[in-house]
Amino acid sequence: MRSTLDQFPLPWVVQERSSCFVLHDKTSQPLAYIHFEDKSGRLSPINQLTRDEALRIAENIAKLPELLRKEETRGRKLKLHTAD
């Protein structure tokens, strides 16, 4: 069975734009937009993410394929050890 992650080729890259970070796959397909408010002190009816918060989220999303593959590998090892 083909993994959902296989549909979005690695590496996933974070690109900064004026008011958001865009997460792209290897084919430049956008996977996520993480918006932020970069003008401190500006009154806004909603609380937007700061630039640093948005960057941290984008970087963590970019790490997901690696983390999921590690978890998948660990799950296989557990099944091998428990199969008697």
pLDDT score at 1: 44
Q: Check: pTM over 0.85? Answer yes or no.
A: no
Cα–Cα nearest to 37, from 55, 52, 50, 21: 50
> String of b and e for 24-40 (b: at least 16 CB within 10 Å)?
bbeeeeeeeebebbeee
d(CA 48, CA 35): 8
Task: Read off the pLDDT of each residue in 57-67 and give the average, rounded to a whole number.
Answer: 95
What span, in angstroms and rounded, lies between the C-alpha atoms of 25 and 49?
23
Tell me the pLDDT band of 78, cut-offs 50, 70 and 90: low
